[in-house]
Amino acid sequence: MNIAIIGSGRMGQALSALFVEAGHEVTLSNSRGPESLDEMVAALGPNGHAAEVTDAVAWADVVFLATPWGKTAEAVSVVDDWSGVVVVDGTNNRSAPGPDGLIDIGDNVSSVLVASYVPGARVVKAFNSTPLFILAPALGANAGANNAVYIAGDDPTAKSLVADIIASIGGEAVDTGDLATGGWLQGMTGPLAGVMEMLTPADARSRVEAARAALDAGVTTHSNETRSNNMAKVALSKSIELNADAEEVWEFVSDFAGHASWQPHIQSIEMQSNGERKVNFTRGDSVFDRIAELDVAGKRLAYELVPGQATPLASLLAAFTVRAVDGHTEVEYAITVEVPDPMQDMARVGIGADIDGALAGLQERFSA
């Protein structure tokens, strides 16, 4: 198949390598002209080519957009007629990782905006919801069972074509729906984005079903600032007793950057310059949170979710409280989340497991 890629950054380079490995012909293009792509094309071998954007689009069976969000409209504007062209939108309305990197597009869906830049094209949203450094190594020669790639679009024939391309590089397409709804689900403020692992197709479909159930429950906005008449609060609290000094336990628990060392559901923590932390979970996703209260005298640390993230949680407030009681130390861990009503049971199981794991980690750390 003849595949044109507009954009020669990390996304364009990673996809072109996968497509060439699968036997496709690939033509790269960018705003600087084909001469700037000589080194990349040489690395691709005989199936790699470079051309002006207009020539690449005219030659291709399918066109991939791998441009930064702020340059996408200009990059595609040089093509006079997009009628009937299958365009795969791999862009995101983002300038950098984290909440601060999200570009505000109001109530618009990014894929629908992109479709307006290429009038008449048959647009399919794909390759956008999993970070590239996780996506690319999991496909091609290394592809295994965790190979799901979300796609969305209005044209069944175009989606079938893109699904075939995904299959050729070892992936399996998982359909999230039409461009507006499915595109939002896998967009930056949708519930399917930002998962820090590749999923099996079965797991991916389950997540799509859960996300659609949340929509059917009446969720109307597109981030963890979401509110609706069908939201539910789930709260759990558990305590343990430790044979340890309360001051020592408090010093350990209040180390906000050190929670990954004893909470088994946390893979790692990356502290940010603004005091927030990026929490990378062992289940693959990540969130940003921040301290809501640090009461040293009362030995209470509370933290909350940073607003504006791609997560099904409308809110989260968690707190550790350390107390000296009758010669021992009691630690209480409480979590309250607000989720779409159909997700109550899932949330209760999830936060219960997180609490149990954290308290077990403390028990192990301070066991005699």
Domain residue limits at 293? 231-365
DSSP 109: -
Tell whether pTM > 0.75: no
State both tokens at 92. Answer: 């995101």
Number of Cβ within 10 Å of residue 78's Cβ equals: 13
Q: Are residues 154 and 10 in the same domain?
A: yes
- Provide the percentage of residues in the chain whose pLDDT is more than 70: 94
Q: Are residues 335 and 196 in the same domain?
A: no
For position 39, what pLDDT does the model report?
95
Residue 225 lies in a domain: no
Phi first, then psi: give them for residue 291, nearest 5 degrees. -70, 130
Domain edge (last residue) among 192, 216, 240: 216
* Averaged pLDDT of the chain: 90
What's the whole-number mean pLDDT along residues 30-50? 96
Q: pLDDT (tens digit, 9 = 90+) per residue, 249-281?
A: 999 999 999 999 999 999 999 999 989 999 998
Q: Count how many domains the chain has.
A: 2
Domain edge (last residue) among 185, 216, 247: 216
Q: Are residues 7 and 114 in the same domain?
A: yes
Rounded-to-integer distance, Cα 310 and Cα 92, Å:
12
CATH number of the domain bearing residue 82: 3.40.50.720
Q: Are residues 300 and 188 in the same domain?
A: no
Cβ proximity of 66 and 5 under 8 Å: yes
Q: pLDDT (tens digit, 9 = 90+) per residue, 85-138?
A: 999 999 999 887 666 678 888 888 999 999 999 999 999 999 998 888 889 999
Q: pLDDT (tens digit, 9 = 90+) per residue, 288-341?
A: 999 999 999 999 999 999 987 777 788 899 999 999 998 899 999 999 998 877
Q: Are residues 284 and 357 in the same domain?
A: yes
- Return the closest-CA partner of residue 189 out of 240, 256, 128, 279: 128
HEC letters along 47-104:
CEEECCHHHHHHHCCEEEECCCHHHHHHHHCCCCCCCCCEEEECCCCECCCCHHHECC
Beta strands in the chain (DSSP E): 2-6, 25-29, 48-50, 62-65, 86-89, 122-126, 148-153, 172-177, 231-242, 266-271, 277-281, 286-295, 300-305, 315-325, 328-340
Q: Are residues 212 and 239 in the same domain?
A: no
State both tokens at 174. Answer: 């998982």
Cβ proximity of 173 and 164 under 8 Å: no
Q: Are residues 88 and 237 in the same domain?
A: no
Q: Are residues 161 and 292 in the same domain?
A: no
For position 228, what pLDDT does the model report?
41
Domain edge (last residue) among 216, 241, 269: 216
Q: Are residues 212 and 333 in the same domain?
A: no
Residue 226 lies in a domain: no
Residue 81 lies in a domain: yes
Confidence category of residue 224, pLDDT binned at 50, 70, 90: very low
Q: Are residues 29 and 69 in the same domain?
A: yes
CATH number of the domain bearing residue 320: 3.30.530.20
The DSSP annotation for 19-52 comes to: HHHTT-EEEEE-TT-GGGGHHHHHHH-TTEEE--
Q: Are residues 39 and 160 in the same domain?
A: yes
Q: Are residues 101 and 155 in the same domain?
A: yes
* Helical axes 344-365 vs 246-253, angle rounded to 10°: 130
Residue 352 lies in a domain: yes
Residue 223 lies in a domain: no
